[in-house]
Structure 1
């Protein structure tokens, strides 16, 4: 199955609750450079690691629209001297900090984030945003959001999961749902978003017939 999805991002703000002006400026410079050169996923991550004082494993998918952040980190660890520090995200979630700096003593031990966005999901059928927004309002658990979307007959791309369901690793949740008995098929779709100014192919999941 072939499909194209355009994500028209009218507003997108992701940051820590107490983000410093320095980090805000660094991330703004990263995103501007990524847009200018239409950087691919690995290059976006490389630019961020080189320009930002430190990055957390939790923020990378949301900041850079990465759907395979752990794998990309593993690849770049072979060429960049990355230091690593375990941290806590939102009081109860494990995460870690990566930096090319060796001294991470000044890096916080815990992080809390906030996201505000206004995104249009556009396909050949027109604007298809509302069903995903409605499911996000019904429940908070990302995997439950995914289950409800699939049961409603919605195709769910990796970016749908990121933008509306808060899912950083949709493939892992798909695997869990399959083990529970759900028959889920997958295909790839061409997607574009104006935040990164890139077009690429990403996995899309739907309930099998």
Structure 2
């Protein structure tokens, strides 16, 4: 795919049901700093870990637009001496909390998140956000949304999967689809967004013909 896909984010609200004003402000400060310095992925993660009381594995991809959050956490874990705690997200998914604090006992054991967005997708090929939004309305499970998009001939970037399909780890979903017999080609494409103010390469997937 040639040309840059631009994600023009007009509304982006990612909140936790019991989020405190302190955490809300901390995340707002992180977002502002990341945008000001046009921080790359690892730098965005570092800024968050150093300025937020704790972060969760579920929220990192959504708040910081990270597409390889587990690998990034692994790269800074020892240096920052991260502590972690196992928790549950949205009543069913297991994950972790990460913090520089030693005592994690006052951190909740369960979190309930909600994402609300309005995003324009500007693609040189003319593919807007509409087909991705329609799939999200028709299918509930992230991996099934991804499968349907590929079957319809759409090219799906990691950010498409995050914004509209709720897929935080698209590489893992792609691997499972391949094991199920779906032939999928992988490439890279440039994307930009006004939430991070950066332009970078991300994976893009399409179904192979034949």
The SS at the match of 1:49 is helix
Give matches, 1:38-187, under 5 Å. Answer: 38-126=38-126, 128-187=128-187
Task: Give 2:37's aligned residue.
Answer: 37
Please report how far the alpha carbon of residue 127 of structure 1 lies from its aligned counterpart in structure 2 after TM superposition.
5.8
The SS at the match of 1:78 is helix
User: CA–CA distance in 1 between the matches of 2:72 and 2:100?
Assistant: 15
Please report how far the alpha carbon of residue 90 of structure 1 lies from its aligned counterpart in structure 2 after TM superposition.
1.0
User: CA–CA distance in 1 between the matches of 2:199 and 2:40?
Assistant: 9
TM normalised by structure 1 equals 0.98
In angstroms, what is the RMSD of aligned CA positions? Answer: 0.9
User: CA–CA distance in 1 between the matches of 2:54 and 2:165?
Assistant: 26
Q: For each residue in 1:93-144, what CA deviation from the matched residue of structure 2 results, as whole angstroms up to 9, or x when unmatched?
A: 1011000011111100000001110001101134611000000000110000
User: Contact conserved, 1:85 with 1:96, CA < 8 A, in 2?
Assistant: yes
The SS at the match of 1:5 is strand
Give matches, 1:193-208, under 5 Å. Answer: 193-208=193-208
Following superposition, which runs of at least 4 residues in structure 1 exceed 6 angstroms of deviation? none
Please report how far the alpha carbon of residue 174 of structure 1 lies from its aligned counterpart in structure 2 after TM superposition.
0.5
User: Contact conserved, 1:2 with 1:188, CA < 8 A, in 2?
Assistant: no
User: CA–CA distance in 2 between the matches of 1:100 and 1:60?
Assistant: 15
User: CA–CA distance in 1 between the matches of 2:60 and 2:205?
Assistant: 22
Q: For each residue in 1:17-62, what CA deviation from the matched residue of structure 2 results, as whole angstroms up to 9, or x when unmatched?
A: 1211000000000000000000000000000000000000000000
Structure 1 runs not aligned, ≥5 long: none
The SS at the match of 2:79 is coil
Structure 2 runs not aligned, ≥5 long: none
Q: For each residue in 1:144-173, what CA deviation from the matched residue of structure 2 results, as whole angstroms up to 9, or x when unmatched?
A: 000000000000000000000000100011
User: CA–CA distance in 2 between the matches of 1:87 and 1:180?
Assistant: 30
